[in-house]
Amino acid sequence: MKILSGSNNVLSNFKKSRYKLSSKTRQLSLLSITEANKLLREKKVSATTLVQDCLSRLKKYNAQVNAFIEIQKEEVILQKAREAENRINEGINNKLLDGIPIAYKDNFCTQDLTTTCGSNMLRNFTSPFNATVVELLQDAGSIIIGKTNMDEYGMGSANLYSAFGPVYNPHKIISDQESNIDKYEKRVAGGSSGGSAAAVASGMCFAALGSDTGGSVRLPASYCGVIGFKPSYGLCSRWGLITYANSFDTVGIITRTVDDSQLIFDIISKYDEKDSTSLSPKLRAFNSLISYNSPLNKNEPLDLSGLRVGVPKEYMVSELSEPIIKLWKKGISFLKSQGATIISVSCQNIKYALSTYYILAPAEASSNLARYDGIRYGHQSEKNLSQLINNNENTELLYANTRDEGFGIEVKRRIMLGTFTLTTGSYENYYLRAQKIRKLIQLDFNKIFRRQNPLQQYFQYFINQNNNNNSNNSFYKKEGVDVLITPVTISISPKISDYNNNNFLNFYVNDIFTIPANLVGIPAISIPFGKLHNYPIGLQLMSQYGDDLTLFKVAKTLEQI
């Protein structure tokens, strides 16, 4: 269904969608959730029409882009759409996401669809339970449209390491309304949540969940021209999100507007007792108290006066290309023009972030992936099975064959690396040192931000309260910044042909701007900000732990440009 913009139709009253098309025509499935919701409520569009529009795009583009590993059965989707329609028509039990099609990265456990993690190991695996965030979004009325492609177990930044084939950047065929991607030199969608970013960018769904361990949501969002949000660690439950590296993994949100991102975030940012690293209700309340005392609280939406924006020196790395630096500067000037104060900041230890990440994350991964042994679920090797029987000693051979066949090259590489760093002798030299540096980087960031870290302030606050020395002023320092602005990536989406197996180390560099937020646990968002060579590119904002709302506020301003 196509709607002409500018004519006297239902869309004329809407804020212009941030997703810009070169064409004058706009598609229903490229609206924001906020816009679609309004159409649905006003009964100008039915939920069935909405999902059918997504499905038709999915059919048209997925074969080109390879965004989905599994698509929900059409009759199931239409049935859910009718149920949502009935709820809307009856005006009862209206839910925030009634009838909105959503996709999930294939590392979120779902009972209805397989959950493969992009791996041969789990090619036919169906989880007996739903991830908590999947439950929350379903309860909000949304419809699962399918499971998106990804780098195997989340390990990769180009989405080339999937057992189900690479995801291709959909930008050109969408903007040119082409139907054959082979016309272009293929570029990567980014990873590891490449399928989620490509699906949202090409209008196959309204939002998608990804996971962000080292930039896996922000990077593909930047390459595909959508919003990629990584919340503060511990706000969204990881129960049912298949782990890559537990202390880094966060649920990530990919949408076409910042408002949509915030809407999804509001729904899934809930305490979950099943996740022991989920922020407790007490700490959430305390965090809100800090936000309530924010000096920026009285600002009107989009008014940035009083906002202090930091530009970290260390982000000016040699790999950064001139056009990206220009874009970065443009972003800085824009925020300044909106009333923000720009401050240069330094975060000394950030230069170690990449190495720290590539020691700690593989260590956790090597441990997490030990469970894939072919005994209880997933792939089991049939090689030499007759030999293995009658020889108890040979269970190790069964494991080796199973894991050799089930895991791809990058996963094996990281398991080996992680196993090495945890070995006696290396543990002290690598793992422990990396943990210490991680702590130092956390301290660096705490120094940079004006807002205090609620995790550190919590106990102090109650000690003060007991001493009747209750001062909320201590929540914000006099100095310090509210947000940091940086590039997300060192370049636009690279060509597939640039990648080969011998230069994999060079591609670890792609994560250089995104990894610090994961090391520290702070929120970060990638917002599309201009184009280079006709490919989108994003800027990144980061804020103090728990200050996700300020991030949204500034992102909404930046989104206007």
Partner 1 sequence: MFLLNKTKNNKNVLPSLFHLLHLSHKFSHQYTTITTTTTHPPNLIIDNKWEAIIGLEIHAQLSSKTKLFSNSSTSFQKPINTNVSVFDAAFPGVMPKLNSKCVDLAVATSLALSGNVQLISSFDRKQYFYPDLPAGYQITQHYEPLSIGGKIALSHLDGLEYETEVRIKQIQLEQDTGKSIYDIKPGFALIDLNRAGIGLMEIVTEPDIRSSKEAGLILRKLQNILRAVGSSDGNMEEGSLRCDVNVSVHQVGTPFGTRCEIKNLNSVKFLMEAIEVEIKRQINELRIGNRIIQETRGYDVVKNKTFRLRSKETDTDYRFMPEPDLPPLILTKEYLERILNASPELPDILKTRLINKYNISLKDVKALMGEEGGVEYFEKIVQYRNRNPKLVSNWITQDLYGFLNRKNIKFSKNPVSIEQLGSIIDCIEIGDISGNIGKQILAQMISGDTRLASVIIEEKGLKQINNITELETICQDIVMQNTENAKLVREGNQNVFKWFVGQVMRITKGKANPQIVNELLQKLLQ
Active site residue ranges: 105, 192, 216
Q: Of the listed pieces 62-70, 78-86, 234-242, 339-347, which binds partner 1 according to CB under 8 A? A: 234-242
Q: Is 466 in the site for partner 1 (CB under 8 A)?
A: no
Interface region with partner 1, contact rule CB under 8 A, candidates 239-247, 336-344, 535-543, 551-559:
239-247
Number of neighbouring beta carbons within 10 Å of residue 288: 13
- Tell me how far, at minimum, the Cβ of 275 lies from partner 1, in Å: 5
Task: Give dist(CA 152, CA 331) in Å, integer.
Answer: 34
Q: Does 250 bind partner 1 (CB under 8 A)?
A: no
Candidates 66, 72, 127, 162: give the one binding partner 1 (CB under 8 A).
127
DSSP secondary structure string for all residues of 548-559: HHHHHHHHHHHH
Query: Which are the contacts of 155, defined by CB distance < 8 A and separation ≥ 6?
Result: 161, 192, 244, 365, 410, 411, 414
Q: Does 424 bind partner 1 (CB under 8 A)?
A: yes
* Residue of 43, 89, 129, 495 interacting with partner 1 (CB under 8 A): 129
Q: How many of the chain's residues bind partner 1 (CB under 8 A)? A: 61
- Alpha carbon distance 470, 463 (integer Å): 9
Query: To the nearest whole angstrom, how small is the minimum distance from the Cβ of residue 251 to partner 1?
Result: 12
Residue 365 binding partner 1, by CB under 8 A: no
318 near partner 1 (CB under 8 A): no
Q: Does 241 bind partner 1 (CB under 8 A)?
A: yes
Kindly tell me which residue out of 49, 94, 419, 464 binds partner 1, with binding defined by CB under 8 A: 419
Q: How far is the CB of 504 from partner 1 (least distance, A)?
A: 24
CA distances from 344 to 56, 317, 383, 448 (A): 48, 15, 59, 10
Would you give the binding string for partner 1 spanning residues 131-150, x where CB under 8 A is met?
A: x-------------------
Q: How many CA atoms lie within 13 A of 185 on its CB side?
A: 9
Among residues 341 and 419, whose Cβ is nearest to partner 1? 419
Q: How far apart are CA 205 and CA 561, in angstroms?
A: 24
Could you tell me if 120 and 161 are in contact, meaning their C-beta atoms sit under 8 angstroms apart? no
CA angle 334, 222, 217 (to 5 degrees): 120
Choose, by CB under 8 A, the member of 395, 429, 472, 506 that binds partner 1.
Answer: 395
Task: Compute the distance between CA of residue 518 and CA of residue 376 in angstroms, rounded to an integer.
Answer: 32
Six token digits for residue 65: 């882009």
Full 3-state SS string of 356-391: HHHHHHHHHHHHHHHHCCCCCCCCCCCCCHHHHCCC
Min CB(540)–partner 1 separation in Å? 20
Cβ 366 to partner 1, closest distance in Å?
8
The correct pick among 15, 16, 183, 436 for binding partner 1 (CB under 8 A) is 436
Closer of 445 and 499 to partner 1 (Cβ): 445
Q: How far is the CB of 288 from partner 1 (least distance, A)?
A: 17
Question: Cα–Cα–Cα angle for 62, 64, 70, nearest 5°?
Answer: 30
Gyration radius (Cα) of the chain, Å: 23
- Choose one: 54-62, 123-131, 141-149, 223-231; the region binding partner 1 (CB under 8 A): 123-131
**Contact assessment for residue 307 and residue 483, using Cβ atoms and an 8 Å cutoff:** yes
Minimum CB separation from partner 1 for residue 106, in Å? Answer: 11
137 phi and psi, to 5 degrees?
A: -75, -35
3-class secondary structure, 351: helix
Q: Which is nearer to partner 1, 182 or 273 (CB)?
A: 273
The residues of the shown chain that bind partner 1, judged by CB under 8 A, are 107-109, 115, 117, 122, 125, 127-129, 131, 233-234, 238-243, 245-247, 273-277, 283, 363-364, 366-367, 370-371, 373, 375-377, 389-392, 395-396, 399, 419, 422-424, 427, 431, 435-436, 438-439, 442, 453, 455-456, 458, 521
